[in-house]
Every structure is written in C-alpha cells, then in structure tokens.
Amino acid sequence: MAAMQSGERRTTLADVAAEAGVSVALASIVMRGASGAGAATRARVLEVAQRLGYQPDSRARLLRSGRSRLIGVVFDVRHPFHTDLLTGLYDAAGAVGYELTLSAVTPRRDERTAIDGLLQDRCEALVLFSPRTKVADLGVLAARMPVVAMMRPVRQRDVDVVRTDDARGSELAVDHLVSLGHRRIVHVDGGTMPGSSERRQGYVTAMTRHDLNEYIRIYPGGPGEGDGARAAEEMRNDPPSAVAMFNDLSATGLLDVLRGHGHRVPGDISVVGYDDSSFSRLAHIDLTTVAQDVDALAGGAVRRAVARIEGTDVEHREVVIEPRLVVRGTSASPTGESGPA
Amino acid sequence: MAAMQSGERRTTLADVAAEAGVSVALASIVMRGASGAGAATRARVLEVAQRLGYQPDSRARLLRSGRSRLIGVVFDVRHPFHTDLLTGLYDAAGAVGYELTLSAVTPRRDERTAIDGLLQDRCEALVLFSPRTKVADLGVLAARMPVVAMMRPVRQRDVDVVRTDDARGSELAVDHLVSLGHRRIVHVDGGTMPGSSERRQGYVTAMTRHDLNEYIRIYPGGPGEGDGARAAEEMRNDPPSAVAMFNDLSATGLLDVLRGHGHRVPGDISVVGYDDSSFSRLAHIDLTTVAQDVDALAGGAVRRAVARIEGTDVEHREVVIEPRLVVRGTSASPTGESGPA
DNA sequence: CCATCCCACTAGAACGTTCTAGAGTTTCCT
DNA sequence: AGGAAACTCTAGAACGTTCTAGTGGGATGG
C-alpha cells in the first residue's frame, strides 16, 4: 500500500539521450524543437522520449536559460470577478508564449505573502488584481521587476495600470436610466472602497450632463449586502424612481429590502448594479448591471507586462478600458414598460 | 520610460557571500536557518542579505535538493466552491511546511493542460478538484506520483480520494424536511454529473428509513439553473410539499419558476439546495442547503498527499467527510411555521 | 582536386542553489 | 597534557537543463 513511485528516479534528458544514442545536447535541441537535428534522429529521440514518459524539468530549464517566460499573478479567492479574469489572462498569456504562475490571497494569506511566493518563482513580471499594497511598497517592487496593477489607479511612475473606466461605467448606468425616462435617479456609493469615488463622480457627471442637477442625491453605502439594505431603509420616506448602485452585492441588499417594503422592481423602482458578478445573471436576481470587459482587461495587462519585460516602449502608463452596460430585468421605464433591448 | 530593472542581474547567494566575506556554502546554511554557523556570522550574513535585497531562487534550490515540498493543485475557475477550498488548502499545507502551486482549468484551458503545467513544476503530489479525467488516465498519473482526487469517488487503487459523503448529505436534507413535518418530498437529480448518483441514493435511503417509500419521486435534472426550472415546470400539476435539489444553482432555477407560478417558498413548498455556494447565503436567495466541510476536506487532502510523499502508511484509501446542513429561509413546516434554528 | 560552406552532431561550461566531505579551531574530559 | 568531541567554516560536486564553441564529414564551387 505504500507509495510505489517514490523509489524510481524521474526520467531525465540524459536517459532519453542515452537510450536514443545521441548526446544530451542534441536531445535538448530536439525537445525544444530547435533547428540543428536531422529528421531521422529527431523522430527517434521523440519516440524514445514518449516511450520513457519524459517530462522536461522546467526548473532546470529556467535556471539555465535565465528567461522564465512566466508572469506571476496575484488574485483573491473571495472575488468572483478575479477568477473570470484569470480565464482571460491564461488566454492572453498563452497567445504570446508566456505561462502564468498563480498565487492566491485568502482570508488567512495576505497579499505580501502571496507576492513573496511569486518572487521566489523567478517570474518576469507581476500582475496584481485589485492590490491593497501601499503605493510606496508597489514602487519598491516595481524597481525590481515590471508590475501591473489592475482595477486600481496607482499614482507611481514605475507601476503600470490596467483598469476599467469606472466613472464612465456609472455614466452608462445613468444614461440608460435617463433613456428609459427616469429623472429622480439616486446613487448609493461604495464608501472607502477603491473605485468608489470614480463611480460617484461618474454619476454626478452624467446627471449634470442630462441637466438633472436638482435630483442628484448620494447615499453613503459600501461593498456589502448590508450596505445596500441600509441605504434602502434610508430612502424609504423619499423613494426615487431609480437607483445606481456601487456594486452588485449591495444592489441585491437594496433589492431585497425594497421588495420587502412592497415596492415592485422594476415596476416602481429601477435598480442598476455594477460588476456583472456571476450571481447577477441568475434568473432569480436578473440584475441590470455594468460589466467590465474581461478580455480587454486581461489582454491589456499581458500586453503591458510583456512590453515591459521585452523592453518595448509603451505609450501611456495607464490602460483604461471601456465598460459595457448589461440590461436585464431590474430596469424599466417609470411607467412600467420594459426597457429597450 | 523603458524598463529600468532589465539590466541589473538579480542578486545571488554568491553576491551575499562575497559581501559578507564567507563561503557560498555558509551563506546557504544561514539562509536556510540550518545549524552550523556562528551567531555573529549568522547575523552579519542576514544583514547583508537584507541590504542587498536577496531573494533565494526556488528553482535552483529545488533543482539541487530534489525535494520541492510543493503540492500541485488543479482547480476550476468556474466553480466557486473550488476557491473556498483553496483557502483551506493553503492553511493546511502551510501548517505542515508545504507550498502550493496552482494551475487553473478555464473554459478554454482543459484539465490535461492544467495537469501538464504542474508536472513540469516538479511538485511532489497532485491534488485534483473534481477531476473529469478518465480513471485509467488517473491511474497512469498515479503511477508516477501521489494523486489525490477530491469530491469524486475514483475506483483505482493508486488514487487517493477525499470527498464529502454525498449520500449522507442528501439524507440530512430529507431528515430535516421530515422533521419539519413534510412527507411528500421529491428529489431533482444532477443527471450525469459526478456525485449525482450518490445524492440520489441518499435521498432514497432516507425516504425509505422514514417509511416514505410511497412518496419517492425523482425528477431528471442537472447542474444548471435551467435544469431546476425545467423540473419545476414538470412538477407543476402535482406539486410536492418539499424538494431536495441536486445543487444550489438548480435550486435557484426551481425557486424562480415556483414563485413565478404563485407558490410561496417556504409557505407552500420547501426547497433545500446542496453545496452552500456563496450566492445561497444572499438575503435575496437565503437557501437552506447542505454544506461541505471545507477545512476537513482540505486537511484530509493535504494529510493524505503528505503521507504518500513521505511514505507513511495510510489506513484507508478514501477519506469521507461528513456534510452539514445549513438551515436558512427556504425550508419550513408545511403548515407555514418557520423551521427550527 | 582543393578550399568553402553547411549540416548534424558533441563536449563541456554555466545557471544558483544544496549537500558531502573534510579542514581548522576551540572546548571538554580524563 | 593529550586526545576526543564539538563546533565553525570551506571546497567542490551535483541537480537537469541550455548554450557556446566547436568537430567532422559530405556537398558545393571554382
């Protein structure tokens, strides 16, 4: 019952070379697909490698070649959007011949630990999802290797930034509600969360643009369900006709209290979330929301990381991606008709 | 604007040793915290390392020492439960001095690719979350290194299994509903999904145990919202008093249709999900469900992997964890009263 | 028929660590 | 005092690859 595999040594390039009757160097050439090997030999070596179950040792390979073609990614297991983004990142990195090495932030594993883990892995650039690390520390890190911060504006000349235009996202939400015929549109903000001030500002900008200054009303909120619920209670004695929320989670909290109080959504009040979280598309929630462009974000991050690694000059330090409105069932015209699309 | 860091070589152990005026070997001893270095020298080397910003190169270290103390983990970005499990796994691995190396399955990156990536990383064991790989292929893999399959029973003597007792989970759901006073309890299964047959069997077992054979009714379902919705339509002309669902997602689909048809939940019909997905605890959904014990699963997997790596004998090939019922707002007694807890 | 070039191939160093074996010192015991 | 034992430290091999610098031989060209 004990492990049977512990005894046998892993098969190495030397084993393959010996078995095929060639030098280690030539075996290496064949395995890498480099030029400089005859067709017959190439076939023979490949056959032997296959037969012996040879797997190259990336550690040795990278140790020697210096380059690792590895991009380190720090993500947070608690954020569903991060895993969506991982999908895009794998695609984008694969397309330009880079690999990803992942390190997770969890409730009991902080960002510092996650980053340190990656540093030992000799990756050539770091992509950080919504980093909470202080700007100064990011600067120290960026002095050592290219660093791309995502979903967070960072004022540090060595740190690249790839993010969604959050102000624009709020504007899209307001524009949508206005186009449905709403005027009394309020906003529940995200408190001290990163991105909160941009989204708040976008709301104000759009309201002003539509000449609705008199209706501008901002409730203090936060990222959680409870924050949305609290805001819903607060607006009870003066209900608006539509609400633009800081994010999807707080939107569900608001929705719940609103409906509990007998308001029909979207009949009486329209609600727009932000993030297009996976649960927002559940039939049960069916939330109109602002989506971040995953592929554009991922592509931007990889392009930027690779440009820095390979020393290509880049135009702007910040890459700002356009958000997109996803119309679902929580928004309609104030008369009760369903919205366009 | 071009990368400033590309020129300078990374500082190596040799740099530290030279600067501190000791041999590389001694510097290595100090960095590893091994015995065999004087207190004064130790302090000096550490100071120099700190000053030069030395980061050990794990690749070189592992290359030489053979051991990597690395456990490879394959998870699927689409499954929220997998990220919960990652949290527990980091904790469990850290506690016994092992590191994790992650490889994700995405819609465009299959399990084979994810596993291959890890194999090159020289990890000493593989932990696969809900693997879809064929048993035979798992066997081939297991011949090379310890493999732990999670959340899926695998009949292969070299593959360890750590999973929740899914049959027992279904029984818990039924027991709960019976204790509330329900008798007409039906089950919507998961079709061909792994775990589906166990959960179906558990339902039957519990119903029989409660002497409710005459009420046993199993609707064909699946893992998605749509599957739950379809089942809800099917049971429309003969509505039960309670439903035990295959998972949370299909439960929300069912809930939605049920309520759309004017049934009150839990007033008219109680619904119990399975998995305790993050969205199930949203106030808006508030689903009674069966939770898997994340820490026990993670701990079991790590303990098993480490035992195999270190050649310790293990008692049983399968580790089966008890599930736990989480009572929320979708279950109540058929008379309309709210349930216990 | 000799120089030239290209092609298939090889020997051996190098990457940054850890590990083994052993060399000097100092301390301790008798 | 004489050796054993215990420390601190070092030289150099080893890990499994890639890379540099070549070697030998056959084809090409004049």
Per-residue model confidence as pLDDT tens digits over A198-230: 999 999 999 999 999 999 999 999 998 899 999
Residue A72 in tokens: 């380190």
Nearest nt by C1' to B17 Cα:
D10
* pLDDT confidence band for A316 (50 / 70 / 90): confident
The answer to whether residue B272 sits within a structural domain is: yes
The mean of the pLDDT values for chain A is 91
Q: How far apart are CA B216 and CA B243, in angstroms?
A: 11
The answer to whether residue A279 sits within a structural domain is: yes
Sheet containing A242-245: give its strands across. A218-219, A185-188, A242-245, A270-272
What's the burial of A153, exposed, middle or buried (CB within 10 Å: 0-12/13-18/19+)?
Answer: middle
Same-domain status, A257 and A301: no
Provide the b/e sequence for A17-30 (b: ≥16 CB within 10 Å): bebbebeeebbbbb
What is the number of CB-based contacts under 8 A between chain A and chain B? Answer: 159
Q: What is the DSSP string of A106-130?
A: BTTB-HHHHHHHHHHTT-SEEEEES
Residue B180's nearest CA partner among B326, B10, B59, B335 is B335
Nearest nt by C1' to B66 Cα:
D15
Same-domain status, A214 and A135: no
- The reported pLDDT for the residue numbered A8 is 60
Same-domain status, B218 and B271: yes
Are B283 and A256 an interchain contact pair (Cβ–Cβ within 8 Å)? yes
Q: What is the mean pLDDT of residues A129-156?
A: 93
The answer to whether residue A147 sits within a structural domain is: yes
Same-domain status, B288 and B170: yes
- The reported pLDDT for the residue numbered B8 is 59
Nucleotides of D strand lying within 7 Å of any protein CB atom: 7-12, 14-21
Predicted confidence (pLDDT) at residue A1 exceeds the cutoff of 80: no
The strand pairing partners of A105, in sequence order, are: A76
Same-domain status, A146 and A171: no
The answer to whether residue B333 sits within a structural domain is: no
A99, closest residue in chain B (CA to CA) = B117
Q: How far apart are CA A271 and CA A252, in angstroms?
A: 9
Are A86 and B78 an interchain contact pair (Cβ–Cβ within 8 Å)? no
- The reported pLDDT for the residue numbered B340 is 42
Are B62 and A58 an interchain contact pair (Cβ–Cβ within 8 Å)? no
Number of domains chain B is built from? 3
B83 touches strand C (CB under 7 A): no
The answer to whether residue B214 sits within a structural domain is: yes
Cα distances (angstroms) measured from residue B193 to each of A83, A175, B1, B157, B200: 22, 43, 52, 22, 11
Q: What is the DSSP string of B246-267?
A: SSHHHHHHHHHHHHHTT--TTT
Q: What is the mean pLDDT of residues A245-260?
A: 94
B57 touches strand C (CB under 7 A): yes
Compute chain B's Rg from CA coordinates.
26
Nearest nt by C1' to A23 Cα:
C10
H helices of chain A, in order, are 13-20, 24-32, 39-52, 58-65, 80-95, 111-120, 135-144, 166-180, 196-209, 225-234, 248-260, 294-309
Give the DSSP H or E segment for A193. Answer: none
Same-domain status, A33 and A102: no
Residue B150 belongs to what domain range? 66-164+293-321
A87, closest residue in chain B (CA to CA) = B106
Which are the contacts of A125, defined by CB distance < 8 A and separation ≥ 6? A71, A72, A145, A146, A147, A148, A305, A306, A308, A309
Contact between residue A32 and residue A69 where contact means Cβ atoms under 8 Å apart? no
Any CB–CB contact under 8 A between A65 and chain B?
A: no
**Probe site for chain A from B4, B9, B11, B83 (most A CB atoms < 10 A):** B83
Contact between residue A168 and residue A322 where contact means Cβ atoms under 8 Å apart? yes
Q: How far apart are CA B14 and CA B23, in angstroms?
A: 8
B258, closest residue in chain A (CA to CA) = A284
For residue B47, which phi and psi values (nearest 5 degrees)? Answer: -60, -45
Q: How far apart are CA B164 and CA B161, in angstroms?
A: 10
Any CB–CB contact under 8 A between A328 and chain B?
A: no
Cα distances (angstroms) measured from residue A211 to each of A175, A185, A215: 12, 12, 9
Predicted confidence (pLDDT) at residue A64 exceeds the cutoff of 50: yes
Q: Nearest by CB to A106, from B87, B145, B256: name it.
A: B87
Can the peptide bond before residue A340 be classed as cis, meaning omega within 30 degrees of 0?
A: no
Q: What pLDDT, in 10s, does the model give residues A100-135?
A: 999 999 999 999 999 998 988 888 999 999 999 999
Ranges of residues in chain B whose predicted pLDDT is under 50: 1-7, 336-341
Same-domain status, B285 and B188: yes
Q: How far apart are CA A197 and CA A185, in angstroms?
A: 18
B4, closest residue in chain A (CA to CA) = A143
Same-domain status, A52 and A115: no
Are A311 and B87 an interchain contact pair (Cβ–Cβ within 8 Å)? no
**Probe site for chain B from A61, A90, A258, A286 (most B CB atoms < 10 A):** A90
Which of residues 11 through 50 in chain A touch B, CB cutoff 8 A? none
CATH of the domain at B92: 3.40.50.2300
Which are the contacts of A210, defined by CB distance < 8 A and separation ≥ 6? A174, A175, A178
A140 touches strand C (CB under 7 A): no
Q: What pLDDT, in 10s, does the model give residues B91-139?
A: 999 999 899 999 999 999 999 999 998 988 888 999 999 999 999 999 9
Are A55 and B225 an interchain contact pair (Cβ–Cβ within 8 Å)? no
Q: How far apart are CA B73 and CA B97, in angstroms?
A: 16
Nucleotides of C strand lying within 7 Å of any protein CB atom: 7-12, 14-21
Same-domain status, B245 and B257: yes
The answer to whether residue B334 sits within a structural domain is: no
Which of residues 210 through 239 in chain B touch A, CB cutoff 8 A? 225, 229
For residue B204, which phi and psi values (nearest 5 degrees)? Answer: -60, -45
- The reported pLDDT for the residue numbered A338 is 45
Name the domain boundary from B275, B292, B309: B292
Collect all residues of chain A within an 8 Å Cβ-Cβ radius of residue B77.
83-84, 86-87
Residue A111 in tokens: 């960002």
What's the burial of A60, exposed, middle or buried (CB within 10 Å: 0-12/13-18/19+)?
Answer: middle
Q: How far is B101 from chain A (nearest CA, A)?
A: 7
**Probe site for chain A from B122, B148, B279, B281 (most A CB atoms < 10 A):** B279
Any CB–CB contact under 8 A between A302 and chain B?
A: no
- The reported pLDDT for the residue numbered A204 is 98
- The reported pLDDT for the residue numbered B209 is 98
Are A146 and B99 an interchain contact pair (Cβ–Cβ within 8 Å)? no
Q: How far apart are CA B113 and CA A165, in angstroms?
A: 34
Nearest 5°: the CA angle B225, A329, B255 is: 35
The answer to whether residue A330 sits within a structural domain is: no
CATH of the domain at A37: 1.10.260.40
Are A1 and B252 an interchain contact pair (Cβ–Cβ within 8 Å)? no
Q: How far is CA B74 from the centre of its chain?
A: 10
The answer to whether residue A329 sits within a structural domain is: no
User: Residue A16 in 3-state DSSP?
Assistant: helix
Q: How far is A275 from chain B (nearest CA, A)?
A: 15
* CA–C1' gap, A23 and C11, in angstroms: 9
Cα distances (angstroms) measured from residue B292 to each of B17, B295, B298: 50, 9, 11
For residue A77, which phi and psi values (nearest 5 degrees)? Answer: -60, -20
Residue A128 in tokens: 């950080």
Contact between residue B98 and residue B127 where contact means Cβ atoms under 8 Å apart? no
Residue A209 in tokens: 């643009």
Are A119 and B55 an interchain contact pair (Cβ–Cβ within 8 Å)? yes
Sheet containing B318-321: give its strands across. A318-321, A159-164, A147-150, A125-129, A70-76, A99-105, B99-105, B70-76, B125-129, B147-150, B159-164, B318-321
Residue B290's nearest CA partner among B255, B325, B320 is B325
H helices of B67-195, in order, are 80-95, 111-120, 135-144, 166-179
Which are the contacts of A4, defined by CB distance < 8 A and separation ≥ 6? B143, B158
Percent of chain A predicted with pLDDT > 70: 96
Q: How far apart are CA B292 and CA B79, in angstroms?
A: 14
Q: How far apart are CA B76 and CA B152, in angstroms?
A: 14
Same-domain status, B149 and B88: yes
The strand pairing partners of A8, in sequence order, are: none
Same-domain status, A280 and A298: no
* pLDDT confidence band for A286 (50 / 70 / 90): very high
For residue A126, which phi and psi values (nearest 5 degrees)? Answer: -120, 130
Contact between residue A49 and residue A14 where contact means Cβ atoms under 8 Å apart? no
Predicted confidence (pLDDT) at residue A341 exceeds the cutoff of 50: no
* pLDDT confidence band for A32 (50 / 70 / 90): very high
A36 touches strand C (CB under 7 A): yes
Higher pLDDT, B69 or A86: A86
As a whole number of Å, the end-to-end CA separation of chain B is: 62
Collect all residues of chain B within an 8 Å Cβ-Cβ radius of residue A87.
77, 104, 106-109
**Probe site for chain A from B284, B286, B309 (most A CB atoms < 10 A):** B284
Same-domain status, A172 and A284: yes
Q: Nearest by CB to A5, from B90, B107, B144: name it.
A: B144
- The reported pLDDT for the residue numbered A135 is 95
Give the DSSP H or E segment for B71. Answer: strand B70-76
Any CB–CB contact under 8 A between B139 and chain A?
A: no
